[in-house]
Amino acid sequence: MNKTTLATQALLEEEAEALTRKAIELAKAGNPVALRLCLQRLLPPPPKDRTVNFTLPKQEGTYYLFNAIRAILEAVAQGEITPGEGQTVTTILETYLKGVRRIGSYLNSQCR
């Protein structure tokens, strides 16, 4: 760290209690910046990922992947999941399909 940063940290450490009290007072008085600052220190950061809850069709038949992607698009369109969550689930399904194809290719090569 440079000298300015060290000096600033030393000053803040000496005034930490007073600054904290002032921030709380301002937050209680309705200051939105102080309120946000206090809440950011009290609340844990939101998780980067969350469980995605919506219904996918049963894994049956040749058109399962098409039906699953349609269900994802409908869930995004209805606001049940975000577009980013829809993309993530679609990527998982694509990875699943690649795995199934590889296993199928392997099994076919063993049967020859």
Whether residue 62 is predicted with pLDDT greater than 70 in this model: the reply is no
Residues in Cβ contact with 85 at an 8 Å cutoff, skipping those fewer than 6 apart? 50, 52, 76
Instruction: Name the average pLDDT for the chain.
Output: 85
What is the predicted pLDDT for the residue at 54? 79
What is the predicted pLDDT for the residue at 28? 93
Residues in Cβ contact with 21 at an 8 Å cutoff, skipping those fewer than 6 apart? none
Rounded to whole angstroms, the Cα distance separating 102 from 49 reads: 29
Whether residue 102 is predicted with pLDDT greater than 90 in this model: the reply is no
Whether residue 44 is predicted with pLDDT greater than 70 in this model: the reply is yes
pLDDT band at 76 (very low <50, low <70, confident <90, very high): very high
Rounded to whole angstroms, the Cα distance separating 88 from 96 reads: 12
User: Who has greater pLDDT, 39 or 78?
Assistant: 78
> Residue length, the chain?
112
Q: pTM for the whole thing? A: 0.52
